[in-house]
């Protein structure tokens, strides 16, 4: 079984992915962490040295490695499905789950967690909200190609994990 969590930055992919993998007794991979481990560089450093385009090439290459593994939950980066036809690669190699979180919730979370995220780290709160709104609109058609879409209405992590488990075993 291979499960990929997709969704915007701040949607909870890493936290929920880890909890889900523990409960399903599967391995857990966070694609950003995997890239950082393999390259010995932070995502911020990669963006600074190679630009976003360079990062997207690396992200695609490491995703190709990750999809060859089995029995795992993978939390992807917010942009991963949206470049280099990665959504097709993901959907051909497992079950994708889109964590669909409201703009206001994302904005609130990301205003506190933007420093390690090169795309948003220099934005003030007003700029942040309009960036997320525009960017999310562009990305949503891709996110919605996920096998399972979870409208995240709860802040309760365990409840959310249960909901995902119910959907993937249907």
* Contact set with ligand S3P (CB under 6 A): 9, 13, 32, 43, 77-79, 117-119
Contact, 8 vs 101, CB < 8 A?
yes
Q: Which is nearer to ligand S3P, 25 or 72 (CB)?
A: 72
CB of 118 to ligand S3P, least distance (A): 5
CB of 169 to ligand S3P, least distance (A): 26
Q: Which is nearer to ligand S3P, 94 or 118 (CB)?
A: 118
Q: Which is nearer to ligand S3P, 25 or 119 (CB)?
A: 119
CB of 41 to ligand S3P, least distance (A): 13
CB of 87 to ligand S3P, least distance (A): 14
How many CB atoms are located within 10 Å of the residue 154 CB? 11
Q: Which is nearer to ligand S3P, 59 or 94 (CB)?
A: 59
Contact, 103 vs 133, CB < 8 A?
yes
Beta-bridge mates of residue 96? 4
Q: At 124, give phi and psi (nearest 5°).
A: -80, 175
Strands (E), the chain: 2-6, 27-30, 72-75, 95-100, 148-151
């Amino acid at each position: 079984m291979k499960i990929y969590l997709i969704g915007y930055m701040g949607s909870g992919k890493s936290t929920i992915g880890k909890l889900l993998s523990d409960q399903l007794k599967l391995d857990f991979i966070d694609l950003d962490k995997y890239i950082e481990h393999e390259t010995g560089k932070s995502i911020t450093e990669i963006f600074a040295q190679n630009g976003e385009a360079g990062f997207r090439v690396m992200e695609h290459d490491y995703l190709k490695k990750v999809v060859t593994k089995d029995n795992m939950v993978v939390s992807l980066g917010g942009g991963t499905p949206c470049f280099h036809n990665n959504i097709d690669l993901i959907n051909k190699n497992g079950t994708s789950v889109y964590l669909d979180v409201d703009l206001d919730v994302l904005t609130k979370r990301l205003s506190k967690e933007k420093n390690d995220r090169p795309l948003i780290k220099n934005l003030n709160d007003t700029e942040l909200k309009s960036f997320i709104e525009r960017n999310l609109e562009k990305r949503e058609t891709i996110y919605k190609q996920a096998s399972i879409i979870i409208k995240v209405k709860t802040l309760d992590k365990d409840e959310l994990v249960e909901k995902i488990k119910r959907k993937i075993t249907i």
